[in-house]
Structures are given as C-alpha cells and as structure tokens.
Chains A and B, each alone.
Chain A
Amino acid sequence: MTFGEYVALVKDIGVTTLKGMAVTWRVFMKVQTKGAVTIQYPETRDRLPMGSRGLLFNDVEDCIACKQCATACPVDCIYIEADKKAAGAEIDSTKGGVKKTLDLKRFDIDVSLCCYCGLCSAACPTECLYHTKEYEYSKFERDRFTFDFLNWHH
C-alpha cells in the first residue's frame, strides 16, 4: 500500500463513518421530538393484543373432563382426574348446554412445563380452557407452579 492509497483509505473511512453517524444523529433528533420507542417496563406496560397467549386458565364450572386438552398437550403438563357421577346425582350442564356427566376431581396444570403453544385451548370443546393475558406469576418454589383450578386462588 502506497502512502497515497493509505490517505485515500483513511478519507474513505472518515466519510462513511460520518454518513453512519448522520443516521444516528437523525434518529437521535427524532427521539428528542417524538419520544423514545423503549417502554420503561414496571412503570409503563405494553398493551397486549387480543388472543395473547399467557397463563392458562380453566373455568371448572364449564369443564366436562373430556381430557382432550391433556391429550393434545405436547409436554403433558395437564393433569385431570374425573369419576363417573354417583347414580341419582343431579347432572348439570355447562353454559353452552353440554351435559357434565363426569365429576371433576382434579384439574392441575404445571405451568412451569407449559410451552404456551395453544393446542389445548384450541382442542377444548366447551372453550373453558383458555389463555389469559397474565404473564407475571414468578414464584420462589418450583412446586407452587402446579396450579389447582378446582381450588383457585392466585
């Protein structure tokens, strides 16, 4: 490399870098006038769109214990136990009018295993299992991630 080539290279580097810095300057001025795109998370929160897939919730009043969600689940994190109703017991129905012939004994979801794929809520025939927009539910103990929807307290 001759001295002339070296000078030309340095000049080229300076010019192209200044071009890049001009872009940065334009963005900087835009931020000054229009505000930044960053959200300061705990103080301001993003509004999640409709159908956002957060924490699962099961409305056990409408659940018919068909276990379709547990079958669809790719990570097997839904645990359902149900018995046949005793003879003579009243058979009530869901809001949609589906008869609840089984007695739901257990509906647990281990949300630490859940991969939020949405296959269970899509499989649910009574639409009682769905994703909420809830996403802040960190816990200190791992066993507290198994959410019992029959005795729901969150």
Chain B
Amino acid sequence: MHLSHQADNLRTDELLINMGPQHPSTHGVLRIIITTDGEIVKAAHPEIGYLHRCKEKHSENVDWMAVAPFVDRMDYLASMNNSMGYAIAVEKLMGVEVPRRAEYIRVIISELQRIASHQMAFGTYGLDIGAFTPFMHAFRDREKILDIFEAISGARLLYNYMWIGGTYRDITPEIVKQIKEYCAYFAGQISQYNELLSYNKIFVERTANVGIMDRELCWSYGLTGPMLRGAGMKWDLRKDEPYSIYSEVDFDVPVGKGEMGTLGDSWDRYMVRMREMEESLKIVNQLIDGIPDGPHRGRVAKKIRVPKGEVFSRTECPRGELGFYIISDGSEIPYRIKVKSPCFLNISTLDEVTRGLMVADLVATVGSLDIVLGEVDR
C-alpha cells in the first residue's frame, strides 16, 4: 500500500485549544477558544467577561465626581486619557469652560500617557513574539513617566487627575522641568527601540503579512485608532475633530504604508504606534514652554449637578476612539453612562482575521491589537 493512500484513510479530527484565561500573551484575562486543524486556526472565538466589574451600572450609583476613579480603572494603562474623555463629555453637557492652563496641562499629560501606553504595547508585543529585552527597555522608560505622574497626581497608575472642569492639582515648575528632561531623554530612545525590535529581521518575518486588516474590514467592524491608521486610513480625532487645544498644535498622523509586507498587517499597526510616540513627543515639546498662567480648575461647584440632557463625546485614546454617552436627569448622580470602548471592537475582529493562520501567528495578531481587557469588559 502506498504511503499517500494510507494517509487518506487516516481519520483526522479538529482539536479544540483553550488559550487563556491565564495565558501570558493574552494581555489580561482573555480566553480564546481555538479550533485547530493541525497547526492551522479554523476558528478563534474570544471569550470575554472575566474582568467585568459593572462599571457602567456602578456609575449610576455614585455622584459625578466619583465616576472618574471608576473610569480610570477601565483602561488601566491609559487612565489619564480615559478620565479626560469622561471629563470632556460631562463638561460638554454642563457647558463649563475649562481654563487655558488646565487645557495645556491636560493635553501634555494625556500625550505623555499615550507614550507610556505605547511603550507598554511595544514591550509586551516583543514579549509575545519572543523578544524579552525590549520589554525591559520599555519599562525602564515608562517608569520615568510614572514618576512624573506620581509627582503630579500622587498615584502611579490610577490617577483620578482629570477632574470635571479642570485638573486635580496644579503643575509646578519642578514638574515642568522633569517633563522637559524626559522629552530630551526619550527622543534618543525611540531609535534604540527601532534598532532593538522594529527592524529586526526575525521580528519582521514574524509580523509582516500576518493578521492583515484591510480598510474595508476596519470600516465594517468600526475599528479606530492604530488599527485603522495601520490600514492606511488617515483618521485621528485629534486632527479631524479636534477637542481641547489639539487644533493649535502641529503634528502628523502616522499611517501604515505596507513597508515590510501587505498594507494593514501586524507590523504596520505596530509601527504606527512607534511613530505616534514621536508625534506625541512633538506635541509635548510644543506645549511645555507655553503653559499660560491662571487657575487649573474652572468654576465648578463642589457638589456637581449636571443639567438634564444627553451627550455623546469621543476622544482619541491610545487604543482608539473612546466614546461616552451620558444621560443626565438633572440630579447629583448620572442616569446612564454608556462607554464605547475601542478594545471591544478590536477583539471582535479576531475570528475573521486569524482564520487560516498558524497558532503562533494568532499570538502575533492578538499582540498587535494591543487590547486591555479592563476596557473590553468594563
């Protein structure tokens, strides 16, 4: 009997693999149920909800100020951007004017937070692929940003700094100096990151042409942020629908170009993040010298009452557009706060994108999504 004939008679089964919830490369507690045929992924079903903490329901029972600490805990790697989005939404509903000084501080801080978040994405993506050193570099530099944030707000990870109407505390000249020193230091680090990981041929071979998301797929799933920009679409809320003082600063929107493979592959998404760090640094450098004098918080009552009405507001977070849909019935506590989370949409593409890939490439794709499960489940 021929060998090929024998192989035809062999009974083959699909194998069900549980990846996670406790898995080092699922970025939190994500469980992916993978149906595999050999090493090919037939279907990948992300199972979410392990980190569900009822944030939206909880917000309906605390007053407007007390929602901010909960909002911080959604995307715990970008707390500042989250609470800034919430503060902007409530301010829109209240019609409060934020002082110029507060706007400057907010934008500087949220751009630093974007750098810190992307450093984390860079480090853990390397870790997923199998490169350990970039992670140590990223964490060494992220630590310095956390030190700045600790000096500003008093906390290292969950700051509760962006308050409705302004900021929690004022920024001191020492902190301005610290931020300037950091900008000067970090400008030289990005090229090191690129030498370490971005242009490493092994890394490129692992990520280029893997997990391709073209523009149509991004649109149909409603993806935003580095996903959409990685697919070559120039869409950034800071540029296209400017909030705060983003209309006054000069920066570029980096997009994926398909340099190493196909447009919209994992490498493109990764590289968009690396280039965004440079742009964020550019924004901080432009604003840090011109912080105007004045109060750091607008005229807001101690007990906030928001007029009756509803509002939807969205801001550009490191992971995409974070939307807040807020309904107020005019009382001291919110009636409803619905969060439109970018990570939830990112993770929903997983099945379509990874079908037909190898299991190891699925890890590379999940890493390039840069999801935070705290925000997916809320």
Contacts and interface: CB of A to CB of B under 8 A. Distances in A.
Interface of A: 9, 12-13, 15-17, 19-20, 22-24, 27, 37, 48-53, 71-74, 115-119, 122-123, 131
A35 B155 CA distance: 27
Contacts, number: 77
B155 A23 contact: no
B199 A16 contact: yes
B160 A119 contact: yes
B300 interface: no
* B interface, over-half SS: helix
Interface in B236-277: none
B110 to A, nearest CB: 19
* A interface, over-half SS: helix
B192 A23 contact: yes
B187 interface: no
B140 A51 contact: no
Interface stretch (B63-71, B225-233, B279-287, B343-351): B63-71
A94 B107 CA distance: 40
B196 A48 contact: no
B195 interface: yes
A148 B154 CA distance: 24
Contact of A51 (B68, B154, B192, B197): B154
A20 B150 contact: no
Contacts of A73: 66
Q: Which has the most chain B C-beta neighbours within 10 Å: A119, A123, A131? A: A119
A74 B150 contact: no
A74 B196 contact: no
5 contacts: A15-B201, A27-B137, A37-B143, A49-B154, A72-B65
Given A24-B133, A51-B151, 10 more contacts: A9-B205, A15-B201, A16-B202, A17-B200, A20-B200, A53-B153, A74-B70, A116-B155, A118-B154, A118-B160
Given A13-B201, A74-B70, A119-B160, A53 B133 contact: no
Contacts of B150: 48-49, 52
A73 to B, nearest CB: 7
Interface of B: 62-63, 65-70, 133, 137, 140, 143, 147, 150-151, 153-155, 158, 160, 168-169, 192, 195-197, 199-202, 205, 302
Contacts of B62: 74
A57 to B, nearest CB: 14
A52 to B, nearest CB: 5
Contacts of B192: 23
Contacts of B65: 72, 119
Nearest to A27: B137
Contacts of A116: 155, 158
Q: Which has the most chain A C-beta neighbours within 10 Å: B70, B154, B302? A: B154
Contacts of A74: 62, 66-67, 69-70
B169 A51 contact: yes
B169 A20 contact: no
Contacts of B201: 9, 12-13, 15-17
Contact of A20 (B143, B147, B197, B302): B197
A53 B154 contact: yes
B133 A117 contact: no
Given A19-B195, A23-B196, A118-B168, A123 B69 contact: no
A5 to B, nearest CB: 13
A9 B196 CA distance: 18
A52 B154 contact: yes
Contacts of B143: 37
Nearest to B59: A74
A15 B202 CA distance: 11
B295 to A, nearest CB: 15
Nearest to B193: A23
A35 to B, nearest CB: 13
